[in-house]
Amino acid sequence: MKKFYIAKARRLRGTPYSSRIESQGLTAYTTYNHMLLPASFEGIEKDYFHLKEHVQVWDVAAQRQVQIIGKDSAKLVQLMTCRNLSKVEVGRCYYAPLIDEQGKMLNDPVILKLSGEKWWVSLADSDIGLYAKGLASGLRLQAEVSEPDVNILAIQGPKSFKLMEKVLGEKVSKLKFFGFDYFPFKGNKFLIAKSGWSKQNGYEIYVENREAGLNLYDELFSAGKEFNVKPGCPNLIERIESGLLSCGNDFDNGDNPYECGFDKYIDIKSDINFLGKKALIQISKEGVKRKLMAVKIDLDQIEMMEEKTLQNGKSFVGHLRSAVYSPHFKKVVGIAMIKKEYWNKKTTFELEIGNKKSKGSICDLPLV
Ligand code: THG
């Protein structure tokens, strides 16, 4: 694989932790929400094994918050998602597909209600802040939309529990999955959720004060020595094996939430008001003709820059959207949009790269 550098610029925003992670052995960045997002430290395989056994601190400041405040804040947030938010509670996180007026995917954020009229929409990679501003002014809503200086640190891995308890106190380990609360550290208060983009357990710390965040960052590393803490980042292998979807990779604005398997986050029956509801009612009547599934391919490496076509003889099976070599399955594993007639898991397919054809099979998400 040919390697290139990423040219830094103000436009490609750094995070409060950039200088820390760069001196701690960062080897690759990607971009996300016009910001730098670490992609590798010791190489994704080494990072993967470490994540599954120990604990990592991730700079995921690129998971930007769209903050919505005002009398119409709940109305505006509900307008953007097909998940029913009418009963949401302060202190819980909600994974929710955002869709457009055609019922097509825009983003898949985690939504937090901070108080009666204050919300954070913790974004994947697309410009939802601009969309929300457009809706608010076009519909004359009393809702102020902004991007506050919130820079998330994720603490992920099986030992995250022990590290967090040591640094933030016993109470933090009582958090339930997708719950959040505030915890003090050296005179500052941090919003901490039991969440994160891995299935290895962990927490996310929504840092609102940069200096306090850097102190906490350093403390996590000094207190974490006994747990073999390392800097890390969302890991391509782990997230594909775990079936965590990536906006812009696995799905984009051409796909609807049913095709992405988001059925349980869609409510077209209640009288809630969201854009694209009519389109989703129509789609649910017709049923989808394709959906995201997992695949395994007999290859020992792959590079993904664009989607790749999967064939069965001359017939089209689907599009491979993300893929990586998995040391666990000892094959390439991936996420693909598969045509309905091939959902039957016994079908195999071929993938042609260069002049080489490889065989693959289809399975359910997540891979087991
Ligand atoms: N945390 C926060 N913000 C984020 C992400 C995050 N923004 C970008 C991106 N990740 C959004 N995408 C996801 C995808 C999956 C999950 C969270 C965010 C996730 N899913 C669980 C699952 O699928 O099993 C749980 C879903 C549920 O119980 O509803 O965690 O990671 N702050």
38 pLDDT tier (thresholds 50, 70, 90): very high
Q: Which residue has the tokens 């995201």?
A: 292
User: Ligand 1 within 6 A of 202 CB?
Assistant: no
Cα(94) to centroid(ligand 1), Å: 8
DSSP string of 21-41?
A: HHHTT--EEEEETTEEEEEES
Give CA–CA dist 56/163, Å, rounded: 10
Cα(151) to centroid(ligand 1), Å: 16
**Tens of pLDDT, residues 113-142:** 999 999 999 999 999 999 999 999 999 999
Instruction: State residue 345's pLDDT score.
Output: 77
Give CA–CA dist 59/82, Å, rounded: 29
Q: What is the pLDDT of the chain when averaged over all its residues?
A: 97
Closest residue to atom 22 of ligand 1, CA basis = 244
**SS3 string of 280-293?**
HHHHHHHCCCEEEE
Instruction: State residue 335's pLDDT score.
Output: 98
Cα(264) to centroid(ligand 1), Å: 14
Angle at 166 between CA 161 and CA 207, to 5 degrees: 80
Q: 262 burial class (0-12, 13-18, 19+ CB within 10 angstroms)?
A: buried
Residue 353 token pair: 């790269």
- The answer to whether the pTM exceeds 0.85 is yes
* The residue type at 234: P
User: Ligand 1 within 6 A of 122 CB?
Assistant: yes
User: Ligand 1 within 6 A of 244 CB?
Assistant: yes
**Tens of pLDDT, residues 245-275:** 999 999 999 999 999 999 999 999 999 999 9
User: Ligand 1 within 6 A of 63 CB?
Assistant: yes
Give CA–CA dist 320/295, Å, rounded: 8
